[in-house]
Amino acid sequence: AQSVTQPDIHITVSEGASLELRCNYSYGATPYLFWYVQSPGQGLQLLLKYFSGDTLVQGIKGFEAEFKRSQSSFNLRKPSVHWSDAAEYFCAVGARSFQKLVFGTGTRLLVSP
Amino acid sequence: DVKVTQSSRYLVKRTGEKVFLECVQDMDHENMFWYRQDPGLGLRLIYFSYDVKMKEKGDIPEGYSVSREKKERFSLILESASTNQTSMYLCASSLVTADTQYFGPGTRLTVL
């Protein structure tokens, strides 16, 4: 069965510093991978997704993620964090043969001045 | 632009009441989903539907039912609300089952 692990519940980053949020998945074949962001009181918004091809994926708001098959990881990165990036971030995994996505438990990002 | 709307942002109900949460999408998507979100547990799938009048149980269907009479509308029903159903409920839709899901703003339900 598919599963997703986001090992960090909370992360605090200074404004202007770089960010990396970790995501590890469990699935036997090549998965579909997603990162979503949820601002307080809002629904989830897609940041980026990986289906195939180039393993470095660019998304909205200056985010990128890299698929590493050997590590079963899909970590999210941003070179310089802005205060407006404070939110909760969810990694999700899907596959062509499955009818649903499986979400991680989320990482809450706090941005300090 | 893609749009998923949910009937209420906040809802307060009493134990034992029947509760309806409505979700509408305007993207002609085949698939619709209901999740509940609780701190530390992430998103858990309650039910999903891949076509009109079709439904599949998700990971936590107990205490819930759903209805999909029209393609654009997917309703979540709490037959007899209980306090442990206090949560944030999120609706989503997608064109293909394993592809991008588009989410509504959520309904925060409190059961007293």
Return the CATH number at A106: 2.60.40.10
Pairwise CA distance, residues A5 & A26, whole Å: 8
Q: How confident is the model at residue B101 (pLDDT cuts 50, 70, 90)?
A: very high
Is B38 part of the contact surface with chain A (CB cutoff 8 Å)? no
Hey, is B38 helix, strand or coil? strand
Q: Show residues of chain A in contact with B40, CB under 8 Å.
A: 9, 105
pLDDT digits (tens, 9 = 90+) for A16-71: 999 999 999 998 777 899 999 999 888 899 999 998 888 999 999 999 999 999 99
- Domain boundaries, given as residue ranges, for chain B: 4-103
Tokens of A66: 């890299």
Query: What is the residue-averaged pLDDT of chain A?
Result: 93
Mean pLDDT on B100-106? 93
Q: What integer pLDDT is reported at residue B6 of this predicted model?
A: 95
In the predicted model, is pLDDT for residue A79 greater than 90?
yes
Task: Identify the CATH assignment for B4-103 out of 3.40.50.620, 3.40.30.10, 2.60.40.10, 3.30.360.10.
Answer: 2.60.40.10
Hey, is A46 helix, strand or coil? strand
In this structure, what DSSP letter does residue B48 have?
E
Query: What range does the domain containing A55 cover?
Result: 3-112
Determine which of A45, A49, A103 to mutate to test the interface with B (most B C-beta atoms within 10 Å): A103
Pairwise CA distance, residues A111 & A12, whole Å: 6
Q: How confident is the model at residue B18 (pLDDT cuts 50, 70, 90)?
A: very high
Instruction: Report, in this order, helix, strand and coil percent for chain B, each rounded to 5.
Output: 5, 55, 45
Taking the CA atoms of residue B6, residue B25, residue B46 and residue B76 in that order, the dihedral angle to the nearest 10 degrees is 50
Q: What pairs with residue B76 in β-bridges?
A: B21, B66
Is B104 part of the contact surface with chain A (CB cutoff 8 Å)? yes
pLDDT digits (tens, 9 = 90+) for B38-49: 988 889 999 999
Pairwise CA distance, residues A51 & A34, whole Å: 9
Determine which of B97, B107, B108 to mutate to test the interface with A (most A C-beta atoms within 10 Å): B97
Tokens of A107: 């990482």
Cβ–Cβ under 8 Å, residues B64 and B76? yes
When divided into structural domains, chain A yields a total of 1
Largest Cα–Cα separation, chain A: 45
